[in-house]
Amino acid sequence: MKLSARNILTGTVTAVETGTVTTHVKIDVGGGAIVTASITNEAATDLDLRVGDKASAIIKSTDVLVGKD
């Protein structure tokens, strides 16, 4: 698969939490970092995501927000 996105973080699925409309998928990308993605339940079903699966967080955005306490 070829993608135009350049920010691809590969890791291991650590949690799949299905809600009413969306599923939150947590991917351990190493170095103590966990990326959480909110995807539709339909997409999660199509991908057949399970804890332990290898997966990638593909980030394409025109904005990056940064906050600090």
The CATH label, of 2.40.50.100, 2.40.160.40, 3.30.300.90, 3.40.50.150, for the domain at 7-59 is: 2.40.50.100
Six-digit token string for 1: 């698969």
Q: Please give the model's pTM, rounded to 2 decimal places.
A: 0.84
Please report which helix (H) or strand (E) contains residue 44, including its range: helix 41-47
Instruction: For the chain, give every domain's residue range.
Output: 7-59
The whole-number pLDDT of residue 11 equals 95
Indicate if the pLDDT at residue 67 is higher than 80: no
Max intra-chain CA distance, the chain? 39
Helices (H) and strands (E) in the chain, counts: 1, 4
Q: Which residues, in sequence order, are CB contacts of 29 under 8 Å at separation 6+?
A: 9, 10, 11, 35, 57
Cα atoms in the Cβ-side hemisphere of radius 13 Å centred on 50: 2
Indicate if the pLDDT at residue 61 is higher than 80: no
State what percent of residues in the chain have pLDDT above 90. 70
Indicate if the pLDDT at residue 53 is higher than 90: yes
